[in-house]
Amino acid sequence: MQQFAQAQHDRHVLLRINYWAREVPVSERTGQWVRVVEDVLRQSSFGAHESWEAAQLARSLVQTAHPDGQLRPAGDRLGVISRSAVAAVLAACLAEADEWEISLVNDLREISLANPPRNVLSSLMRVVLDLARQDAGLGVPLSERLRVLDNKLPAGPAADRLRAVLLAKSYDADRANPVSSGTWRKHACEGGSRIGPVAPMRLAAPGAQRTERHPPCAAWRVTCSRSEQQRSREA
């Protein structure tokens, strides 16, 4: 099936593979299943013509990583494989997107995977960030959440902005996690210097009120400032 999916460019055939993949129960999904899903999502013809189906198929990777909303047991690497596949698909999409298309994805708060936009890039960004946010809530260390993005995404403004939103939305969870709190401050200070004063892509639940009055990077700018002050006092 994987070789068949890799060789296919006909969107109708890819659509049938998509139907098959989503009908496989989560308990029966394997690493090979993930690779088939990744190969289908990598086909630009599928995302261009079947944006709703592509969003649902990408979301199935999140469900695979978190069966019943929980982490997979120790030793089960399907969650790691699913995270890697989601990031790899986004990386492939970013590599084909032009700067104008990427610039349009500036606010993800209105994006719902139940009713995704025709631009599959927006949906993939949403999936990546939703998966990372759920991981944070389930206690996955920040270093592990960032590693897959660092390994897969091409360097550039889009990757920097994605990391910015990931850090901003995981602030409360990582601050309470002794394994991640120091790592969060380190990456936040480094990321803040790269994205500059422009507010990065914002993320909230679909339909949530726009109560945010500062860009997501504001939290780490305050944190970095306090860290510098603390070091000055200790010097």
- The full DSSP string for the chain is -HHHHHH---HHHHHHHHHHHHHS-GGG--HHHHHHHHHHHH-HHHHHH-HHHHHHHHHHHHHHHSGGGSPPPTT-THHHHHHHHHHHHHHHHHHHS-HHHHHH--BGGG--TTS--S-HHHHHHHHHHHHHHHHHHTT--HHHHHHHHHHHSPSSHHHHHHHHHHHHHTHHHHHT-TTTHHHHHHHHHHHHHHHTTS---B---TT------S-TTHHHHHHHHHHHHHHHHH-
Reported as a single tens digit per residue, the pLDDT across 72-130 is 998 899 999 999 999 999 999 888 876 655 555 555 556 667 667 677 888 898 899 88
Whether the predicted pLDDT of 31 surpasses 80: yes
Whether the predicted pLDDT of 28 surpasses 90: yes
Averaged pLDDT, 5-12: 69
Whether the predicted pLDDT of 131 surpasses 70: yes
Domain range summary for the chain, segments of one domain joined by + = 2-234
Reported as a single tens digit per residue, the pLDDT across 63-86 is 999 999 999 998 899 999 999 999
pTM of structure: 0.74
pLDDT bucket at 169, cuts 50 / 70 / 90: confident
